[in-house]
Structure formats: structure tokens, C-alpha cells
């Protein structure tokens, strides 16, 4: 009887030694995949087709931000859709109504007239959106 119990214990130990713990491996794969998913959705400045100014103190926004683009020729894009300056407040209110209060990233070409930039910022604030960032490139 004792010999049988000892044999069972030895078999259990042998099974434990030969097993591979998959839980930590799956956790690491999940974390790496999550890292790449979160970092791949950021706004791509090359896609905007504007010449961004440079700033050393730039901070990245997440992909939940609403992107407003000012092109050199005065064209305004909201999430890749052309909008007139007069309609900007209404469009942003509609988007904010759908999503709730969202951060706004303003990407303006370095050749955009200062007056247009100020008028655009004013329209964004009039729409009720207060979290506004300026997109720049690091030198």
C-alpha cells in the first residue's frame, strides 16, 4: 500500500516537471499586442499633407482626438472632410454631440496666415470644445 502511494506521488511530480505554464506566455503576448494596437492608431502627420512647424515640447494625443487641419491654401478639414470656416462651429458641435467632449488637435501648415489660425481657434472654442492642442513636429 505504501509503495503504491509513493509511486503515485512520483508520477505527480513527474507530471508537474514536464508541464509548460502557458498563462505567463499568453499574458506577455497580450501585452505586446496591446502595445502595438495602441501605438498604431496615432495620427500620422504624413497623411495630413501639410508642412507642420517644429516644437521641442510636443506631446502626443491619442487617436480619440478630433483632428482639424488648416492647409496653406485656407482649406479646413475636420476628420478628412472639407469644411468652410463659417460652418466649422456647427460641424464641431455635431461631432461633439455624437462623441461627447473630445480633445481637438489643430494641425496647421506652417504657411497658414496667423489670422486664419486665430479665427479657427475661436470657432473651435465657440463650439464648446476646450481641450485644444496644436500639432507640431519635433526637430
Q: What residue ranges do the domains of the chain occupy?
A: 2-40, 45-134
State the pLDDT confidence band at 42, using cuts at 50, 70 and 90.
low
**Whole-Å CA distances, 126 to 1, 26, 59, 114, 122:** 86, 48, 24, 18, 6
pLDDT tens digits, one per residue of 85-134: 888 888 888 877 766 678 888 888 888 888 888 888 888 888 888 888 88
Ranges of H-type helices in the chain = 2-18, 23-40, 45-48, 88-99, 114-126
Of 46, 30, 49, the closest CA to residue 38 belongs to 30
Q: What is 45-134's CATH topology? A: Nucleotidyltransferase; domain 5 (3.30.420)
Residue 132 · residue 68 · CB < 8 Å: no
> If 0-12 CB within 10 Å is exposed, 13-18 middle and 19+ buried, where does residue 76 land?
buried
Q: Show Cβ contacts of residue 118 under 8 Å, excluding neighbours closer than 6 positions.
A: none
Q: Show Cβ contacts of residue 130 under 8 Å, excluding neighbours closer than 6 positions.
A: 101
pTM, two decimals, is 0.53
pLDDT tens digits, one per residue of 50-70: 666 676 766 555 556 788 888
* Cα radius of gyration (the chain): 27
The Cα 119–Cα 26 span in angstroms is 51
Amino acid at each position: 500500500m505504501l509503495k503504491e502511494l509513493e509511486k503515485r506521488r512520483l508520477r505527480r511530480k513527474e507530471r508537474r516537471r514536464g508541464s509548460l505554464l502557458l498563462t505567463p506566455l499568453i499574458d506577455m503576448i497580450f501585452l505586446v499586442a496591446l502595445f502595438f494596437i495602441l501605438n498604431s492608431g496615432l495620427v500620422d502627420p504624413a497623411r495630413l499633407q501639410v508642412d507642420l512647424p517644429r516644437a521641442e515640447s510636443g506631446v502626443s494625443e491619442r487617436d480619440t482626438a478630433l483632428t482639424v487641419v488648416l492647409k496653406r491654401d485656407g482649406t479646413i478639414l475636420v476628420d478628412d472632410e472639407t469644411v468652410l470656416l463659417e460652418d466649422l462651429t456647427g460641424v464641431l458641435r455635431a461631432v461633439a454631440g455624437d462623441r461627447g467632449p473630445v480633445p481637438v488637435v489643430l494641425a496647421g501648415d506652417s504657411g497658414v496666415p496667423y489670422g486664419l489660425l486665430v479665427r479657427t481657434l475661436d470657432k473651435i472654442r465657440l463650439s464648446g470644445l476646450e481641450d485644444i492642442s496644436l500639432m507640431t513636429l519635433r526637430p
